[in-house]
Amino acid sequence: MVLSTPKNGISTKLHSTSNKSKSNYANKPGKEAPAQNNEFGGFQVIRETLSGRGLPEDTSDIILSAWRQSTQKQYGSYINRWMLFCNERACSPFTASAEHLVLFLTMLFREGLGYSAINTARSAVSSLSSLYNSDGGNVGSHPLVTKFVKGVFTKRPSLPRYQETWNVSDVLDYVSSLSPSKTLSLKHLTWKLTMLLALVTGQRGQTIHLIKLSDFSFTDTGVTISFSELLKTSKPGNHQKPVHISSFKDNIQLCVVDVLRVYIAFTEKLRCNESKLLIGTVAPHKGICRATISRWIKCVMVNAGIDTDIFKPHSTRAAITSAALHKTVPLGQILATAGWKTDCTFKKFYYKNIVQSSTSSTSNKTAVALPIM
C-alpha cells in the first residue's frame, strides 16, 4: 500500500510484517533468506529509501545491520504506525518536527501505553530521523520530546518489578535432586544444565542459547567458555570476556563441569551437525531459541517452589549476582562474569535483598553457583 509519493529519494511505502517470503527459505538446506526478508515492518522502507539515495544493496545491508533483529522486531510496529501518522498529516516520517513526534507519542499515551513503550517508540522514530540529519542529531533528542517523555514517566512511572529476589539455595535444592546426572532423561538433564549455566555465569538467556560446543575448552580443573557470537552487550571494543568455571568436587551433583560433560556425551548422537550446545528435548533435536531457554528456567523455578507470578526467568541474573555480593565475592569478579562494564547497571537494576530460604540445608551449596567460585 503506497502512502504518498516519494520525495527526494525518501520512500514512504508501508510494508506488512509478514514473513511469508522468508518461509520459502526456511526449509531449504544451504539456502539463506535474503537480508531484506529478515527485516521487520518499516525497516523495508528504510532499505528502499537508502536505495533511492543511490546506495547499492550491499551498502544498505551493512547500514541496516546496525539494528539487530531483536531491535528491528521491537521497533517495527512503531515505525509502521509513525508512517501512517505522518501520511495522514502530509509530513515526511524522516524529517518530521518535534511537534509531530510529541503528538504521535500523545496518541500512544491516550491508548494506554506506559513510559517504557513510549520511550521505545521515541527511539524507533529517532532511528529514522538520524539518517537524514547532516549533523547526526535526531528529533527524539529535541528538548520538547525529552520533556514530554519525562512527563510520561511522572504520570505512568516504570518502577522495578520487585524489590527483592529469590534465594538461590531453594533452586539448588531442586537441581541437586535431579541426580545422578547420568541417569536423567534428556529433558531433566537439559533443565539441570540450563539452570546451572544461568546461575554460574550470571548471563542472560539470550547469551546461553547462543553458546556453541566449540566455545568450551576443558582442562583438568574446569572449563572455560569463550563467547563467539555477537551478544546483546557486544559493542566495538567491548565483548563478553571468557568465563572460567571450576570443577566443584565437594558436590558432584552440582558440578557444572560434570553435568556439561554428561550432557555433551548424551546428545552426541542426537545433534547431527547442530553446533549449538543446547538442543531440543524432542526430535529432531535442533538448536533452540531464547524463548525455550526461558521456558526451561521457569520449569525449574516452579519445581523449586519459586513464585513465577512474581519472579520471571530473567530474575536468575539478579538472584545469583545479589547472592554473590552477599557472599562477599569481589564486585569486580561479579561485573566481569555477568558482563557489566561498571557497577551502575548492577546496583540500579539487579542488586536486591534476598528472601529467606524455605530450607536451611543448602547454605553451603550456594557457592557452586556464584560467579567464578
Residue 2 lies in a domain: no
155-170: pLDDT as tens digits? 988 777 778 899 999 9
Residue 355 to residue 359: CA distance in whole angstroms: 11
- Mean pLDDT confidence for 300-305: 95
Q: Are residues 171 and 302 in the same domain?
A: yes
Residue 10 lies in a domain: no
| Confidence at 9, pLDDT banded by 50, 70, 90 | very low
Q: What is the DSSP string of 193-211?
A: HHHHHHHHH---HHHHHH-
Residue 99 to residue 357: CA distance in whole angstroms: 53
CB contact at 8 A, 171 and 300: yes
Residue 8 lies in a domain: no
Of 17-31, 70-84, 279-293, which gets the smallest average pLDDT? Answer: 17-31
CB contact at 8 A, 129 and 95: yes
- Mean pLDDT confidence for 259-285: 92
pLDDT of residue 2: 39
Look up residue 79 and give its three cell numbers: 515505525
**Length of the chain measured in residues:** 373
pLDDT of residue 135: 59
Residue 169 to residue 359: CA distance in whole angstroms: 8
Look up residue 109 and give its three cell numbers: 499515551
Average pLDDT, the chain: 80
CB contact at 8 A, 93 and 12: yes
Please state, in angstroms and as integers, the Cα–Cα distance from residue 342 to each residue in 184, 332, 337, 370, following that order.
Answer: 40, 9, 12, 19
pLDDT of residue 303: 95
CATH code where residue 267 lies? 1.10.443.10
pLDDT of residue 281: 93
pLDDT of residue 186: 96
Judged against a pLDDT cut of 50, whether residue 373 lies above it is answered with no
Q: Which domain holds residue 314?
A: 164-369
CATH code where residue 130 lies? 1.10.150.130
Q: Are residues 363 and 303 in the same domain?
A: yes
What percentage of the chain carries pLDDT values higher than 90?
A: 36
Q: Which residue has the higher pLDDT, 68 or 107?
A: 107
Q: Are residues 126 and 183 in the same domain?
A: no
Residue 226 to residue 290: CA distance in whole angstroms: 19
Look up residue 267 and give its three cell numbers: 546428545
Q: Are residues 249 and 327 in the same domain?
A: yes
Q: Are residues 199 and 335 in the same domain?
A: yes
Q: Are residues 138 and 186 in the same domain?
A: no
pLDDT of residue 258: 93
Look up residue 333 and give its three cell numbers: 569478579
pTM of the model: 0.70
Using CA atoms in the order 302, 305, 307, 308, what is the torsion angle rounded to 10 degrees?
Answer: -10
CB contact at 8 A, 210 and 276: yes
Using CA atoms in the order 287, 292, 298, 301, what is the torsion angle rounded to 10 degrees?
Answer: 0
Look up residue 322 and give its three cell numbers: 545479589
Residue 274 lies in a domain: yes
Q: Are residues 132 and 227 in the same domain?
A: no
Q: How many domains, in total, are found in the chain?
A: 2
Look up residue 126 and give its three cell numbers: 529517532
